[in-house]
């Protein structure tokens, strides 16, 4: 790994992580969040989990969503993902726009920054659905016309992943293909959700990627990994007896996203969520503002039950 561990109070190496993002399509900032703040963040993540578990199944209310599953292997109800929990958790609302995110993002995105995605992913030990097939996030920008500069590979769109607990291959940490962001859209893992199976090696080879180039991002609590919309990435299943808790926040240069996203920074000033939700990735926000429960359709079990 290019970066050495940052000591306490050291500033993130902004120039070099911007360079690594440009050249390799990903970068890691070690010790991005100090341990005291991480303890509060982990408690907040656990609070969000407990809130999600109050629901019998997947629940959406505007941008806020909890994806729940009765996992057949874990043999219990679990929360897989939460979206836009910043609306219900003050600690995490402040974290999403903490000045340290401006420090990290400014070299690429400038000082006016929109926040597009706000997610927590849990991978429970023993659960069946704990992997993410290799993909490029540009695929999840549904209404492509409202996102400007999608082909501006380096500078307009950055996804960040904060390790809430220690992550490695065993508990399903993020994996990336360095340099893959320069290859355009490769169409990996299309058809169905990215959580419905592992990517066969042959699919990588067919897309011109060498499976040996994969980099496993080993992360300590508080480390931040960043990647671009075109960086091929995914993550293996959790085969360990440890949890894997990961906070993903996706940001854009505001001028590239005039119609989507919440403000994170305006002219460099950290900007709280307002009175009304903005359309982020959920395109039907205005048509479907009321709380709803949603049946899952993508698991093997749900598909068998339907056929
Ligand atoms: O949680 C992970 O390991 C990756 C998730 C991901 O890449 C995504 O949701 O787009
Ligand atoms: Fe992704």
Q: How confident is the model at residue 5 (pLDDT cuts 50, 70, 90)?
A: very low
The answer to whether residue 281 sits within a structural domain is no
Q: How much is the pLDDT for 42?
A: 98
pLDDT at position 144, please? Answer: 81
SS (H, E, C) the chain: CCCCCCCCCCCCCHHHHHHHHHHHCEEEECCCCCHHHHHHHHHHHHHHHHHHHCCCCEEEECCEEEEEEEECCCCEEEEEEEECHHHCCHHHHHHCCCHHHHHHHHHHHCCCEEEEEEEEEEECCCCCCCCEEEECHHHHCCCHHHCCCCCCCCCCEEEEEEECCCECHHHCCCEECCCHHHCCCCCCCCCCCCCCCCCCHHHHHHCCCCHHHCEECCECCCCEEEEECCCCEEECCCCCCCCEEEEEEEEEEHHHCCCCCEEEEECCEECCCCCCCCCCCCCCCCCCCCCEEECCCCCHHHHHHHC
Q: How far does the centroid of ligand 2 lie from the alpha carbon of residue 8, in Å?
A: 30
Q: Is 297 inside any structural domain?
A: no
Q: Which atom of ligand 1 is nearest to the CA of 233?
A: 7
Q: CATH code at 170?
A: 2.60.120.620
Q: What is the pTM of this model?
A: 0.93
The answer on pLDDT for 269 being more than 50 is yes
- Please name the residue that has the structure tokens 């993020």: 174
Domain membership flag for residue 98: yes
More confident residue, 204 or 3: 204
302, part of any domain: no
Nearest CA to ligand 1 atom 4: 234
Domain-embedded: residue 290:
no
Tokens of 272: 């709280």
Is there an atom of ligand 1 within 6 Å of 246 CB? yes
Residue 75 C-alpha from the chain's centroid = 26
Rounded average pLDDT over 24-49: 97
pLDDT digit string, tens, across residues 207-246:
999 999 999 999 999 999 999 999 999 999 999 999 999 9
How much distance in Å is there from the Cα of 64 to the middle of ligand 2?
19
Q: What is the mean pLDDT of residues 69-88?
A: 95
pLDDT > 70: what percent of the chain? 93
Q: Is residue 28 part of a domain?
A: yes
Give the chain's mean pLDDT.
Answer: 91
Q: Is residue 277 part of a domain?
A: no
Residues of the domain holding 256: 14-271
Per-residue confidence (pLDDT) for residue 196, from 0 to 100: 73
Q: Which residue has the tokens 């505007």?
A: 62
Q: Give the total number of structural domains in the chain.
A: 1
Which ligand gives the minimal distance to the CA of 132? 1
Per-residue confidence (pLDDT) for residue 155, from 0 to 100: 64
Residue 147 predicted with pLDDT over 50: yes
Whether residue 114 is predicted with pLDDT greater than 50 in this model: the reply is: yes
- Is residue 294 in a domain? no
């Amino acid at each position: 790994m290019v970066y050495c561990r940052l000591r306490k109070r050291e500033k993130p190496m902004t120039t070099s992580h911007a360079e690594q993002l440009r050249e390799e399509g990903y970068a890691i900032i070690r010790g991005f969040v100090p341990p005291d703040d991480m303890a509060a963040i982990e408690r907040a993540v656990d609070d969000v989990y407990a809130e999600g578990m109050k629901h019998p199944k997947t629940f959406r209310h505007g941008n806020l969503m909890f994806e729940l599953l009765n996992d057949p292997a874990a043999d219990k109800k679990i929360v897989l993902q939460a979206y836009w929990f910043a609306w219900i958790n003050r600690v995490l609302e402040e974290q999403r726009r903490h000045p340290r995110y401006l420090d990290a993002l400014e070299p690429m995105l400038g000082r006016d920054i929109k926040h597009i995605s706000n997610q927590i992913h849990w991978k429970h030990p023993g659960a069946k659905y704990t992997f993410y097939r290799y993909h490029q996030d540009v695929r999840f920008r549904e209404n492509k016309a409202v996102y400007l500069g999608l082909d501006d590979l380096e500078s307009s769109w950055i996804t960040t992943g904060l390790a809430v607990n220690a992550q490695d291959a065993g508990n399903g940490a993020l994996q990336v293909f360095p340099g893959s962001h320069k290859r355009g859209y490769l169409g990996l893992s299309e058809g169905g959700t990215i959580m419905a199976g592992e990517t066969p090696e042959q699919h990588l080879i067919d897309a011109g990627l060498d499976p040996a180039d994969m980099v496993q991002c080993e992360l300590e609590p508080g480390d931040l990994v960043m990647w671009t919309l075109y960086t091929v990435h995914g993550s293996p299943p959790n085969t360990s007896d440890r949890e894997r808790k990961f906070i993903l926040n996706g940001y854009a240069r505001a001028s590239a996203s005039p119609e989507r996203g919440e403000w994170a920074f305006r002219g460099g000033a950290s900007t709280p969520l307002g009175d009304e939700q903005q359309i982020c990735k959920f395109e039907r926000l205005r048509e479907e503002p009321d709380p709803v429960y949603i049946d899952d359709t993508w698991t093997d079990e749900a598909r068998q039950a339907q056929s």
